[in-house]
Structure 1
Amino acid sequence: MKVKVDNLVKVYGDVIALKNVTLSFKAGNIYVLLGPNGAGKTTLVKIISGLIPPTSGDVYVNGLSVTENPSSARNMLRFVPQEPALDWLLSVYDNLYYYAWLLGLPKAERKRAVERVLKKFNLSDYSNFAINQLSGGLQRRVQIARAFLDETRPLLILDEPTIGVDPVGKLQIWELIKDETSSGDILTIVCTNDLSEAEFLGDIIVLLNKKVIRVLKKEDIALEDSVEIVTSSESIIVNRRELNKTLLSLIYDGIEIRSVSPKRPSLMDVFREYFGGGSE
């Protein structure tokens, strides 16, 4: 399974959502799209999923153009949108069974698939509950479970997969996503606001802000060239490229410098370097 994003542009009126985005994705990896508000992450995965068209450029799923063959590309896809997409009055079981029917699973396979995901996502005790009787976190778990009904589809895309889910539930879902991708046959793309989620899941992290800022492998983060400056009043993390400039500024301001040492950065440090502030 391979996905190629080729010089993608998306414009809404006067607003540029994506600008000349080119990326390649391949099976066996979890790719995390990370960036600030309005960075174009959701727009990008919706175009890959064939839900909205690009203004220009194209996406190729296993060589098939998504703009020219949207249905063929979608037949390889499992997509979990950020927005709720469940029937509130149906039970958990019926929601899953109905979705299995929409996916085209044979009748004999639907019940087995539903029971399998109920067990996998610890939802068996809630199978007869209506969706509107569940907490937001459980509703989200049901929505993700739907994406695991048809395991033959090799492209898994999740937009904010654990939003509203409690910490234990998050960890369970993260492990399931990693396990699903570990076979080497599945390509997984995740959009997330959660830096801990990105750090846990991401084999490859794409820093996006309308255009591709940088593509990082997990091991690259540990090699980011950062330095910690400890002063009399605070600790400052800077990229080594900015070290001399920062030191001169501190000295000029009369601030006491107590130590300067290399630092293994976290994903938060990398995010701050490129975007400043916090995450989306």
Structure 2
Amino acid sequence: MQTPAVDIEGVTHRYGGHVALRDVSLQVPPGMLYGLLGPNGSGKTTLFRILATLMPPSEGRAQVFGLDTTQEPDTVRQRLGAVFQAEALDENLTVRENLRFQASLYGLHGADRRNRVDALLTRLNVADRAGQAVSSLSGGLRRRVDLARGLLHRPDLLLLDEPTSGLDPAARRTFWAAARRLQEAEGTTLLLATHLMDEAARCDRVGILSNGALVTDGAPDALKAELGNETLWLDTESPAALSDRVEAQFGVSTQIVGSTVQVAPSDPPAFLSALYEAVGDRIRSATIRTPTLEDVFMVHAGTVPDSDQERVLAQVTGAQDQD
């Protein structure tokens, strides 16, 4: 049996009286791109800090390739790299100088250092910028250089904490294309923390964090399939009352998400017609659609990550209303 790249068991972490993580257990196989999806404050960065050996958990244990992050921090650090929200680059140095300096910290020298730096510059399509100061680069280029920095010592696990924050869509796509190529070429396990749905959808597997708890986990398509082929979203002034009425009269389960009630009947159009006849006066609008990752998050966490919230609520309550 393969040793998991990440093995977290019963991890809880407190900052004084605030509980940032609540009994989180998780395993990530080697070579996987695993995404932790959650809004700001859900515990993503705290979990990354524990895995990066920057602090021990209040309770539970965390291991990287079988190495305990608290008991064996030095050995763990040799196996992982990190790209955090804030870049770890010196703006006054050139791209190549930044990478040479970082490689020296990892014990790479001479031909080994030169070859590794050159290889990453080429793979990440920044070789033509090697002699430029980092301060002169665009945000997307800086991110690719920072990704190269995190990969210099060939880590088995790379932590990516919202690595595309602040990038435009084109730069984000380029960053992820480069990350995927490196994953395939070197077999690196990628652990991503994000609040962006499209980034989570790129992952092989996704775990949803809400209020410090891991509320669900699985492949994106499998998580969507759990909601059915189509789901029905009902916007109402009294979601609790509508939910109770629908469950009592029609015998189907419902989920309250903000001001909406989510239902997954076997025949949504026919069900909606019957529903309007029975309780149409309680429904402000209704939407039928194929489940999305946003829907999965809304069902399990009761909301959506910050940057997607207005867009998703617009979809649910008015963009695709059914009469």
Q: What is the TM-score when the length of structure 1 is the normalising length? A: 0.86
| Alignment counterpart, residue 91 of structure 2, candidates 66, 71, 88 | 88
Distance 1:230-1:31 versus aligned 2 partners, 3 A rule: closer
Q: Distance in 2 between matches of 1:18 and 1:102?
A: 32
Distance 1:251-1:104 versus aligned 2 partners, 3 A rule: farther
Letter in 2 for 1:13: G
Distance 1:139-1:184 versus aligned 2 partners, 3 A rule: closer
Q: What's the % identity of the aligned pairs?
A: 32
The equivalent of 2:319 in structure 1 is: none
Post-superposition CA distance 1:93-113 (Å, at most 9, x none): 100111111122232111111
Which sections of structure 2, spanning at least 5 residues, go unmatched? 237-259, 307-323
The answer to whether residue 23 in structure 2 is matched with residue 24 in structure 1 is no
Asked whether the equivalents of residues 215 and 301 of structure 2 are also in contact (C-alpha less than 8 Å), the reply is no
| Alignment counterpart, residue 296 of structure 2, candidates 265, 270, 275 | 270
The equivalent of 1:170 in structure 2 is: 172
The answer to whether residue 207 in structure 2 is matched with residue 206 in structure 1 is yes
> Helix, strand or coil for the counterpart of 1:22?
strand
Question: Structure 1 residue 147: deviation in Å?
Answer: 1.9
Question: Structure 1 residue 10: deviation in Å?
Answer: 0.9
Q: Distance in 1 between matches of 2:110 and 2:277?
A: 70
Letter in 1 for 2:127: S
Question: Structure 1 residue 267: deviation in Å?
Answer: 0.9
Q: Distance in 1 between matches of 2:69 and 2:176?
A: 28
Letter in 2 for 1:4: D
Post-superposition CA distance 1:137-162 (Å, at most 9, x none): 322221112122232x2111111122
Post-superposition CA distance 1:33-70 (Å, at most 9, x none): 01122100011011011122211221112222110110
Asked whether the equivalents of residues 28 and 183 of structure 1 are also in contact (C-alpha less than 8 Å), the reply is no
Distance 1:29-1:145 versus aligned 2 partners, 3 A rule: same
The answer to whether residue 96 in structure 2 is matched with residue 64 in structure 1 is no
Asked whether the equivalents of residues 78 and 156 of structure 1 are also in contact (C-alpha less than 8 Å), the reply is yes
| Alignment counterpart, residue 129 of structure 1, candidates 107, 129, 132 | 132
Distance 1:250-1:85 versus aligned 2 partners, 3 A rule: farther
Aligned residues: 273
Q: Distance in 2 between matches of 1:257 and 1:194?
A: 29
Question: Structure 1 residue 192: deviation in Å?
Answer: 1.1
Letter in 2 for 1:133: S
- Give the number of the structure with larger relative contact order, counting CA–CA contacts within 8 Å between residues 6 or more apart: 1
Q: Distance in 2 between matches of 1:73 and 1:110?
A: 22
The equivalent of 2:223 in structure 1 is: 221
Q: What is the TM-score when the length of structure 2 is the normalising length? A: 0.75
Which protein has the larger Cα radius of gyration, Structure 1 or Structure 2?
2
Question: Structure 1 residue 257: deviation in Å?
Answer: 10
Post-superposition CA distance 1:217-245 (Å, at most 9, x none): 133134122444488x9xx882428x989
Counting only pairs closer than 5 Å after superposition, residues 26-65 of structure 1 correspond to structure 2 as 26-65=29-68
Q: Distance in 2 between matches of 1:193 and 1:155?
A: 21
Query: Which moves more between the two structures, 26-35 or 220-229?
Result: 220-229
Letter in 2 for 1:252: V
> Helix, strand or coil for the counterpart of 2:140?
helix
> Helix, strand or coil for the counterpart of 1:128?
coil
Higher strand residue share: 1
CA root-mean-square deviation:
3.0
